[in-house]
């Protein structure tokens, strides 16, 4: 039996006990296999298990075991490859991982803030001024713990933040033109990232290396993804959301150890948070 999208019902996101009980009345047992919403305390994730014998599904089990292994008992060296638009989105993950990592690679829009805090001129690119202190602290703590930090050495810059920008060129990070936008990591950086990742045994990847949705600025992400897919004897764990979409679009899903089905859920798991949809299930 297939039900309509439960979020159309006001009782779902409110975790209404009566709605949860009504859902439970449709079945004899409950298998939680929706990792992508395991971080939501909704009626269908935490309410139903109160009324039915419940267990974790096979997909959920694989997510929890693979992500848990990467966090708690990874083969070393352990690397985190972080990208995406904002440092703010990855603060919790960085805080949780910093004591565990051997290597930290930073690309995407969040690299702009890290470069800016080191004194580089980043053109018209968006800098999270409220995260500069955090970025400096991450670099300081990483150095103290002897974590190898990998930041872009060259970038693809454009005269406009647009897929059809009039001018685009690859420049060293200390030569970004005034009023231009950093759109992607450069080819030298992509190659260095690939080489560095090749020396690791466990890699956690979350976030593209550039504005991947604009084909002109997807090359850095493509190069890094293909390098990860070519590794052998390495555990490669890809966070969900936009990173999973990138891997799927490139046809690399089957060549990586694990591609998470959860965007927000995988981030919160990597932050070390307890996910309500997992906590609601009885211990095996």
**Is residue 278 a part of any domain in this protein?**
no
Averaged confidence pLDDT in the chain: 96
Q: d(Cα 159, Cα 168) in Å, to the nearest integer?
A: 7
Count up the domains in the chain and report the number: 2
User: Could you tell me if 243 and 213 are in contact, meaning their C-beta atoms sit under 8 angstroms apart?
Assistant: no
Please provide the size of the chain in residues: 284
Condensed to tens digits (0 to 9), the pLDDT of residues 184-215 reads: 999 999 999 999 999 999 999 999 999 999 99
Mean pLDDT score, 238-266: 92
**Is residue 276 a part of any domain in this protein?**
no
- The β-bridge relationship of strands 202-206 and 78-82 is parallel
User: Could you tell me if 198 and 227 are in contact, meaning their C-beta atoms sit under 8 angstroms apart?
Assistant: yes
State residue 284's pLDDT score: 52
Q: Are residues 157 and 220 in the same domain?
A: yes
**Is residue 280 a part of any domain in this protein?**
no
Q: Are residues 137 and 193 in the same domain?
A: yes
Q: Is the pLDDT of residue 69 over 70?
A: yes
Q: Are residues 242 and 146 in the same domain?
A: yes
Condensed to tens digits (0 to 9), the pLDDT of residues 131-147 reads: 999 999 999 999 999 99
Q: Longest C-alpha distance within the chain, in Å?
A: 64
Residues of 206-219 as b/e, b for ≥16 C-beta within 10 angstroms? bbbbbbbebebbbb
Three-state SS at 202: strand
Q: Are residues 90 and 141 in the same domain?
A: yes
Mean pLDDT score, 254-273: 94
Give the position of tokens 């805080």. 95
**Is residue 282 a part of any domain in this protein?**
no
Q: Are residues 19 and 114 in the same domain?
A: no
Q: Is the pLDDT of residue 241 over 90?
A: no
State residue 230's pLDDT score: 97
Of the given ranges (11-15, 126-130, 236-240), which has the lowest mean pLDDT?
236-240
**Is residue 61 a part of any domain in this protein?**
no
Q: Are residues 91 and 132 in the same domain?
A: yes
> What's the CATH number where 109 sits?
3.40.50.1260
Radius of gyration of the chain (CA): 21
Instruction: List the structure tokens of 153.
Output: 């050495």
Q: Are residues 32 and 80 in the same domain?
A: no
* Residue where a domain terminates, one of 36, 56, 76: 56
Condensed to tens digits (0 to 9), the pLDDT of residues 17-67 reads: 999 999 999 999 999 999 999 999 999 999 999 999 999 999 999 999 999
Three-state SS at 35: helix
* Residue where a domain terminates, one of 56, 83, 98: 56
SS3 per-residue string spanning 58-91 = HHHHHHHHHHHHHHHCCCCCEEEEECCCCCHHHH
Q: Are residues 47 and 112 in the same domain?
A: no
* pLDDT confidence band for 283 (50 / 70 / 90): confident
Q: Are residues 218 and 237 in the same domain?
A: yes
User: Could you tell me if 116 and 127 are in contact, meaning their C-beta atoms sit under 8 angstroms apart?
Assistant: yes
State residue 62's pLDDT score: 96
Q: Are residues 136 and 244 in the same domain?
A: yes
State residue 79's pLDDT score: 98
What sections of 79-155 are H helices per DSSP? 91-97, 110-117, 132-144
Three-state SS at 205: strand
Count of alpha carbons within 13 Å of 42, Cβ hemisphere only? 20
Mean pLDDT score, 93-113: 96
**Is residue 275 a part of any domain in this protein?**
no
**Is residue 153 a part of any domain in this protein?**
yes
| First-residue to last-residue Cα distance in the chain | 27
Q: d(Cα 208, Cα 251) in Å, to the nearest integer?
A: 15
Condensed to tens digits (0 to 9), the pLDDT of residues 154-182 reads: 999 999 999 999 999 999 999 999 999 99
Q: Are residues 142 and 16 in the same domain?
A: no
Q: Are residues 80 and 107 in the same domain?
A: yes
User: Could you tell me if 234 and 201 are in contact, meaning their C-beta atoms sit under 8 angstroms apart?
Assistant: yes
State residue 242's pLDDT score: 87
Strand partners, 171: 155
pTM: 0.93
User: Could you tell me if 100 and 122 are in contact, meaning their C-beta atoms sit under 8 angstroms apart?
Assistant: no
**Is residue 191 a part of any domain in this protein?**
yes
- Note down the domain range covering 81: 66-270
């Amino acid at each position: 039996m297939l039900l309509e999208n439960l979020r159309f019902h006001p009782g779902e996101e409110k975790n209404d006990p009566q709605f949860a009980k009504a859902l439970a009345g449709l079945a004899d047992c409950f298998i939680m296999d929706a990792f992508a919403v395991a971080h939501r305390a909704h009626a269908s994730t935490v309410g139903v298990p109160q009324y039915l014998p419940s267990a974790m599904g096979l997909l959920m089990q694989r997510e929890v075991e693979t992500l848990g292994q990467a966090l708690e008992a990874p083969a070393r060296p352990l690397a985190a490859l972080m990208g995406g638009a904002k440092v703010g989105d990855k603060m919790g993950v960085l805080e949780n991982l910093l004591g565990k990592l051997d290597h930290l690679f930073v690309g995407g829009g969040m690299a702009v803030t890290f470069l800016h805090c080191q004194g580089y001129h980043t053109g018209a690119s968006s800098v999270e001024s409220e995260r500069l202190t955090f970025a400096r602290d991450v670099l300081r703590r990483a150095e103290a713990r002897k974590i190898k930090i990998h930041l872009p050495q060259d970038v693809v810059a454009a005269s406009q933040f647009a897929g059809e920008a009039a001018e685009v060129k690859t420049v060293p990070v200390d030569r970004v033109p005034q009023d231009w936008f950093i759109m992607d990591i450069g080819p030298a950086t992509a190659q260095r990232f690939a080489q560095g990742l090749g020396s690791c045994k466990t890699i956690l990847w979350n976030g593209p290396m550039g504005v991947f949705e604009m084909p002109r600025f997807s090359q850095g992400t493509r190069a890094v993804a293909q390098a990860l897919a070519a590794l052998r004897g390495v555990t490669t764990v890809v966070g969900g959301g936009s990173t999973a979409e990138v891997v799927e679009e490139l046809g690399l899903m089957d060549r990586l150890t694990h591609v998470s089905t959860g965007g927000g859920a995988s981030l919160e798991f990597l932050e070390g948070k307890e996910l309500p949809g997992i906590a609601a299930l009885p211990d095996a």
